[in-house]
Chain A
Amino acid sequence: MDKIVDLEFERGAVNVERLHHDLRGVVGEALAGVSVDGETGRVRVHLRGELTTGMKDQIAAAVAAHDAKRLAPGQQARQDRAALIAALSKPWTDWSDRDRDDLLRLLAESVGIVLPEAGG
Chain B
Amino acid sequence: MAWTVPRTWITGELITAAQLNAHLRDNLNALKQPPSAVVTPTSTRTTSSTVFVPVDEVHFAHTLTTAGGDVLIGCWTTAQSAAGLVLYLDVAVDGVRLGQGDGIQRVNLNGSAPLCFAYLLGGLSAGVHTLTLMWRVSTGSASLVGGMTQFWAREVS
List residues of A whose CB falls within 8 A of some B CB: 1-2, 4, 6, 14, 16-17, 19-20, 32-40, 44, 46, 48, 74-75, 78
Instruction: Report the minimal beta-carbon distance from B51 to chain A, rounded to whole angstroms.
Output: 5
Q: How many Å from the CB of B145 to the closest CB on chain A? A: 9
Cα(A17)–Cα(B47), bound, Å: 9
A38-B48 in contact given A1-B97, A16-B141, A17-B140 (Cβ < 8 Å): no
Chain B residues with CB under 8 Å of chain A are 41-53, 55-56, 82-83, 92, 95-97, 136-137, 139-141, 143, 146
Q: Is the interface of A mostly helix, strand, loop or mixed?
A: mixed
Contact (Cβ within 8 A) B97 A17 = no
Return the chain A residue nearest B59 by Cβ: A37
Partner of A38, one of B43, B49, B92: B43
Q: List the A side residues contacting B45 at CB < 8 Å.
A: 35-38
Query: Given A33-B136, A38-B43, A78-B82, are A2 and B52 neighbors across the interface (CB < 8 Å)?
Result: yes
Q: Is the CB of A33 within 8 A of B43?
A: no
- 10 residue pairs of the A-B complex, CB under 8 angstroms, read A4-B53, A6-B53, A16-B141, A17-B140, A19-B48, A20-B141, A32-B49, A35-B56, A38-B143, A74-B83
Contacts of A14 in B (CB 8 A): 46
Pick the residue among B46, B82, B96, B139 that contacts A35 (CB under 8 A): B46
Q: A33-B136, A78-B83 are in contact. Are A16 and B97 (CB under 8 A)?
A: no
Closest to A48 in B: B51
Partner pick for A46 among B46, B49, B140, B143, CB 8 A cutoff: B49
